Amino acid sequence: MSIIRLSGVDVIKDSNLILQGVDLTLEKGDFIYLVGRVGTGKTSLIKTLIGEFPLKKGEAEVAGFNLLKLKRRQIPYLRRKIGVVFQDFQLLQDRSAYDNLEFVLRSTGWKNKKDMQQRIEQALESVGMLHKKHKMPHQLSGGEQQRVAIGRAILNNPEIILADEPTGNLDSDTQQEIMQLFMEIHEKQQPAMMVVTHNLSLLQRYPGRIFRCEAGKCTQVADRREIDLSGFMES
**Stronger pLDDT, 224 or 22, i.e. the higher one:** 22
The answer, yes or no, to whether residue 233 has pLDDT greater than 80, is no
The answer, yes or no, to whether residue 190 has pLDDT greater than 70, is yes
**Tens digits of residue pLDDT in 157-179:** 999 999 999 988 888 889 999 99
**Tens digits of residue pLDDT in 121-150:** 999 999 999 999 999 999 999 999 999 999
pLDDT value of position 202: 84
- Please report the domains of the chain, with CATH numbers, ordered by start residue: 1-81+158-235 (3.40.50.300), 91-157 (no CATH)
| Cα separation, 83 vs 66, whole angstroms | 18
Q: How far is residue 202 from each of residues 86, 104, 136, 174, measured CA to CA in Å?
A: 17, 29, 29, 12
The answer, yes or no, to whether residue 57 has pLDDT greater than 80, is yes
Is residue 223 very low, low, confident or very high in pLDDT (cuts 50, 70, 90)? low
The answer, yes or no, to whether residue 225 has pLDDT greater than 60, is no
Is residue 226 very low, low, confident or very high in pLDDT (cuts 50, 70, 90)? very low
pLDDT value of position 7: 96
Among the listed residues 84, 17, 85, the one whose alpha carbon sits nearest the alpha carbon of residue 56: 17
pLDDT value of position 152: 95
pLDDT value of position 130: 96
Q: Report the pLDDT averaged over residues 49-77.
A: 93
pLDDT value of position 228: 53
**Tens digits of residue pLDDT in 85-131:** 988 899 999 999 999 999 999 888 888 999 999 999 999 999 999 99
The answer, yes or no, to whether residue 235 has pLDDT greater than 60, is no
**Percent of the chain having pLDDT more than 90?**
72
**Percent of the chain having pLDDT more than 70?**
94
Inter-residue contact 185 to 175 (CB < 8 Å): no
The answer, yes or no, to whether residue 234 has pLDDT greater than 70, is no
Give me the helices (H) in the chain, please. Answer: 42-49, 75-80, 97-107, 113-126, 142-153, 172-189, 200-205
- Facing residues of 16 across strands? 13
* Length of the chain as a residue count: 235
